[in-house]
């Protein structure tokens, strides 16, 4: 069996197993989840090693591990899989976020079984999307990944969850409406001999799509994926959705699902319609440039921790599309690196916010202060995530942003220069909102927190005092426990790994980009 298909089969098998387990046996369900997620991580690590080995041996095929099964003969639809360096990197990212997401939601008690079933369906869609090279199956998996979000947010979310869930689902489905027309256009206009095909490789080789058709269908496809990539002005689902979603779902959504947008823009819109991409890039460069700066500014004025990170995601994901549209090797490599880097650090952010919120029951930075004294482990992790986000050398953010801006600056005309410089300001603004949070809630003076020392027992207990509904609540505070530590440490290792040894990764990625730029 093809190794790539295991990425689809493992979640399916896990769904079947968990479906059969009694919903009361929550520990068993969690263990099955952990085992399955570990198996997926193992598979993706093996895939990465094996992929690099094959490239080492000189296998220069564009996509490796090809497998192809005819599905609908009438439309020439195949279940067709294959990966290049970029997809391998995305799979690795996804499996890391999935396994840390499982540990981050270890403590979830409400309808655990249903929660993990939907969670698995979400990851199934994500994996399937990254391995597909057939537009139909790709679109199928894309939509499979979208719909579990509705129930995950609506049922297990917080705050205005019903509104946010509906908004997110409808906006993303709106994106897929654009996308679907784009796919039809590609399908009917890209064959040379009348044999229509959904296969990305064949379409790219035929390169038969007339430019006037490209000019119609490129914007549709790009916007379709751009909605998921939180491109201005279609980003408004993102802050609400992320703020309301439960921890692991925010992680997976911001960490991986938003990358589907960037990946799709790259793999479908730009790869299959290069002439239109070249002609229309300027429009989307402006839009994504606005995303980058606007997202960063918005993050500065938010008070809810999740909103801050959601807007920060808009900014960072905008940077991904921004760099892709620069259409040169350096910038595009940077874009993919940024996808990985942002995926990991935003997952870490959302995990930490979830852990803090689980204890204080508030995410409002106006009502938090001095957490470093109470939960040092979580706070140190938060600082690390923050530093990665503002691009400290040695962590993943630096590598990605550096590459992006160096690559973007290769364009010598005025338009690109101006917009790149404008984009660069986001780095500074990022520092503002990150340091604002770090300074206020982590290092500031204790606020609404009491530390009670019991000298007889030698124990120290701390409480968060909150007043609402006319009552005073005392929420006990503690530092991270084992499963939270696994989740955070796993992500930090990955972030530092990219930051310290970026070369093998960027080589793997640019190998895919070189093929595309041809």
Partner 1 sequence: MDMIKEFYSGFSIMNQEVSLVLVLVFILLADLFLGEKGKKYLQLSAIAAFALNVVYGFTLTIGSTYEDSFAGMYVTSDMHILVKNILNIGTLLVFFFAHYWNEHENKTQSGEFYFLTLSTLLGMYLMISSGNFLLFYIGLETASIPMAAMVAFNKKAQESAEAAAKYILTAAFSSGVMLFGISLIYGTCGTLYFTGVTQAFQAEPLQVMALIFFMAGMGFKISLVPFHLWTADTYQGAPTAVTAYLSVMSKGAAAFAFLCILQKAFQNYPESWQNILWWIIVVTITVGNLFAIRQKNLKRFLAFSSISQAGYIMLGVIANTAQGMTATVFYIFIYLFTNLAAFGIISNIENQTGKVGMDDYNGLYKTNPKLAVVMMLAMFSLGGIPFFAGFFSKFFIFLAAAQQGLYLLVFIALLNTIISLFYYLLVVKAMFIETSDDPIKPIKSDAMTVIGLAICTIGMIVLGFISPIYEYMTSISF
Given the complex with partner 1, which of 150 and 263 has the nearer CB atom? 150
Interface with partner 1, residue 489, by CB under 8 A: no
Cα three-residue angle 9-241-252, rounded to 5 degrees: 30
Going by the DSSP 8-state scheme, the letter that residue 134 receives in this structure is: B
155 sits near partner 1 (criterion: CB under 8 A): yes
Rule CB under 8 A: say whether 46 interacts with partner 1. no
Phi, psi of 132 (to 5 degrees): -75, 140
Asked if 493 is part of the footprint of partner 1 (rule: CB under 8 A), the reply reads: no
For partner 1, what does the binding mask look like between residues 50 and 89, x meaning CB under 8 A?
Answer: ---------------------xxxxx-x------------
Residue 28 in tokens: 């068993």
Q: Which stretch binds partner 1 (CB under 8 A): 143-151, 311-319, 383-391, 445-453?
A: 143-151
- Name the one range near partner 1 by CB under 8 A: 144-152, 340-348, 369-377, 418-426: 144-152
In the bound state with partner 1, the residue whose beta carbon lies nearer, of 46 and 72, is 72
Q: How far is the CB of 83 from partner 1 (least distance, A)?
A: 22
Q: Are strands 64-72 and 459-468 parallel, antiparallel or unpaired?
A: unpaired
What's the angle, vertex CA 463, arms to CA 460 and CA 469, rounded to 5?
165
Considering the rule CB under 8 A, would residue 127 count as an interface residue with partner 1? no
Q: Which is nearer to partner 1, 75 or 504 (CB)?
A: 75
User: CB 17 → partner 1: shortest distance, Å?
Assistant: 18
Q: Is 382 in the site for partner 1 (CB under 8 A)?
A: no
The distance of closest approach from Cβ of residue 113 to partner 1 in the complex, given in angstroms and rounded to an integer, is 11
Question: Of 140 and 446, which has the nearer Cβ to partner 1?
Answer: 140
> How do beta strands 449-454 and 471-477 pair?
unpaired
> Among 314, 352, 367, which residue's Cα sits nearest to residue 489?
352
Beta strands per DSSP E along 261-402: none
User: Across the strands, what pairs with 69?
Assistant: 79
Residues contacting partner 1: total by CB under 8 A: 30
The label of the residue with tokens 């801006």 reads 405
Q: Is 169 in the site for partner 1 (CB under 8 A)?
A: yes
Residue 460, beta-bridge partner list: 453
When the beta carbons of 151 and 383 are compared against partner 1, the nearer one is 151
9 binds partner 1 per the rule CB under 8 A? no
Residue 447: alpha-carbon gap to chain centroid? 33
Sheet holding 459-468, edge to edge: 449-454, 459-468, 471-477
Q: Does residue 147 belong to the site contacting partner 1 (CB under 8 A)?
A: yes
Spatial separation of the C-alpha atoms in residues 22 and 4, rounded to whole Å: 31
Structure tokens that stand for 388 in this block = 């990665």
Please, what is the Cα angle at 254 between 238 and 343, to 5 degrees?
Answer: 145
By CB under 8 A, name the one of 50, 68, 143, 479 that touches partner 1.
143
Q: Which stretch binds partner 1 (CB under 8 A): 59-67, 102-110, 138-146, 275-283?
A: 138-146
140 makes contact with partner 1 (CB under 8 A): yes
Residue number, 75 or 282, with CB nearest to partner 1:
75
Pick from 13, 34, 52, 166: which binds partner 1 (CB under 8 A)? 166
| Residue 136 touching partner 1 (CB under 8 A) | yes
- The answer to whether 206 and 191 are in contact (CB under 8 A) is yes
List for the chain the helix, strand, coil content (%; round to 5).
70, 10, 20
Whichever of 159 and 174 has its CB closer to partner 1, that residue is 174
Instruction: Classify residue 365 by its DSSP letter.
Output: G
* Measured CA angle at 93 (ends 421, 268), to 5 deg: 65
Q: Is 163 in the site for partner 1 (CB under 8 A)?
A: no
Tell me the window of 145-153, 395-403, 459-467, 478-486 that interacts with partner 1 (CB under 8 A): 145-153
Q: Is residue 254 exposed (0-12), middle (13-18) or buried (19+ Cβ within 10 Å)?
A: buried
Q: b vs e for 166-197, b when ≥16 Cβ sit within 10 Å of the residue's Cβ?
A: ebbbebbeebbebbeebbebbbebbbeeeeeb
- Is the CB of residue 365 less than 8 Å from the CB of residue 303? yes
**Does 181 engage in binding with partner 1 (CB under 8 A)?**
yes
Tell me the closest approach of the beta carbon of residue 162 to partner 1, in angstroms.
Answer: 6
The residue range among 148-156, 285-293, 326-334, 362-370 that interacts with partner 1, by the rule CB under 8 A, is 148-156
DSSP class of residue 4 equals G
Told to check if 188 binds partner 1 by CB under 8 A, we report yes
Residues contacting residue 108 through CB under 8 Å, at least 6 positions apart:
115, 156, 246
Please state the closest distance from residue 135 (CB atom) to partner 1, in A: 11
Question: Which one of 57-65, 165-173, 348-356, 386-394 is the stretch in contact with partner 1 (CB under 8 A)?
Answer: 165-173
Closest to partner 1 by CB, 213 or 448: 213
CA–CA gap between residue 282 and residue 497 (Å, rounded)? 34
174 binds partner 1 (CB under 8 A): yes
Applying CB under 8 A, does 177 fall inside the site for partner 1?
yes
Which of 25, 59, 184, 415: binder of partner 1 (CB under 8 A)?
A: 184
Q: How many CB atoms lie within 10 A of CB 114?
A: 16
Write out the residues near partner 1 by the rule CB under 8 A.
Answer: 71-75, 77, 136, 140-141, 143-144, 147, 150-151, 154-155, 162, 166, 169-170, 173-174, 177, 180-181, 184-185, 187-188, 216
């Amino acid at each position: 069996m093809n190794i790539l298909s295991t990425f689809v089969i493992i979640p399916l098998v896990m769904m079947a197993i968990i479906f059969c387990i009694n919903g009361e046996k929550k520990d068993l369900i969690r263990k099955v989840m952990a085992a399955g997620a570990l198996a997926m991580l193992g598979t993706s690590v093996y895939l990465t090693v094996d992929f690099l080995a094959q490239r080492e041996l000189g296998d220069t095929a564009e996509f490796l591990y090809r497998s192809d099964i005819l599905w609908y003969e009438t439309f020439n639809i195949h279940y067709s899989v294959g990966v290049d360096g970029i997809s391998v990197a995305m799979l690795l990212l996804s499996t890391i976020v999935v396994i840390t997401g499982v540990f981050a939601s270890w403590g979830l008690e409400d309808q655990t079984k249903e929660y993990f079933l939907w969670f698995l369906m979400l990851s199934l869609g994500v994996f399937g999307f990254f391995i597909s090279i057939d537009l139909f199956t790709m679109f199928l998996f894309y939509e499979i990944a979208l719909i579990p979000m509705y129930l995950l947010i609506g049922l297990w979310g917080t705050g205005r969850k019903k509104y946010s869930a509906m908004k997110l689902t409808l906006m993303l489905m709106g994106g897929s409406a654009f996308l679907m027309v784009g796919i039809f256009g590609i399908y009917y206009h890209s064959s040379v001999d009348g044999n229509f095909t959904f296969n990305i490789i064949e379409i790219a080789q035929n390169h038969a799509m007339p430019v006037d058709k490209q000019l119609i269908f490129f914007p549709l496809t790009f916007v379709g994926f751009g909605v998921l990539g939180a491109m201005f002005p279609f980003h408004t689902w993102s802050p609400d959705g992320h703020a309301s979603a439960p921890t692991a779902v925010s992680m997976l959504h911001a960490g991986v699902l938003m990358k589907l947008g960037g990946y799709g823009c790259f793999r479908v819109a730009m790869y299959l319609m290069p002439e239109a991409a070249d002609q229309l890039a300027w429009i989307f460069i402006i839009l994504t440039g606005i995303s980058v700066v606007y997202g960063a500014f918005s993050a500065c004025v938010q008070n809810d921790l999740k909103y801050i990170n959601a807007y920060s995601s808009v900014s960072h994901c905008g940077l991904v599309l921004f760099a892709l549209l620069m259409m040169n090797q350096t910038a595009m490599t940077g874009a993919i690196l940024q996808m990985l880097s942002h995926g990991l650090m935003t997952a870490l952010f959302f995990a930490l916010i979830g852990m803090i919120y689980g204890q204080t029951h508030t995410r409002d930075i106006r009502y938090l202060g001095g957490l470093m004294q109470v939960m040092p482990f979580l706070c140190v992790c938060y600082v690390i995530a923050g530093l990665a986000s503002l691009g400290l050398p040695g962590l993943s953010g630096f590598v990605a942003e550096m590459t992006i801006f160096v690559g973007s600056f290769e364009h010598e005309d005025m338009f690109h220069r101006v917009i790149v410089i404008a984009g660069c300001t986001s780095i500074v603004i990022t520092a503002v909102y990150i340091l604002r949070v770090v300074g206020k809630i982590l290092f500031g003076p204790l606020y609404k927190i009491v530390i009670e020392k019991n000298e007889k027992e030698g124990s120290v207990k701390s409480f968060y005092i909150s007043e609402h509904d006319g009552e005073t609540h005392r929420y006990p505070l503690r530092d991270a426990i084992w499963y939270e530590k696994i989740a955070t440490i796993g992500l930090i290792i990955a972030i530092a790994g990219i930051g310290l040894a970026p070369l093998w990764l960027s080589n793997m990625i640019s190998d895919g980009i070189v093929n595309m730029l041809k």
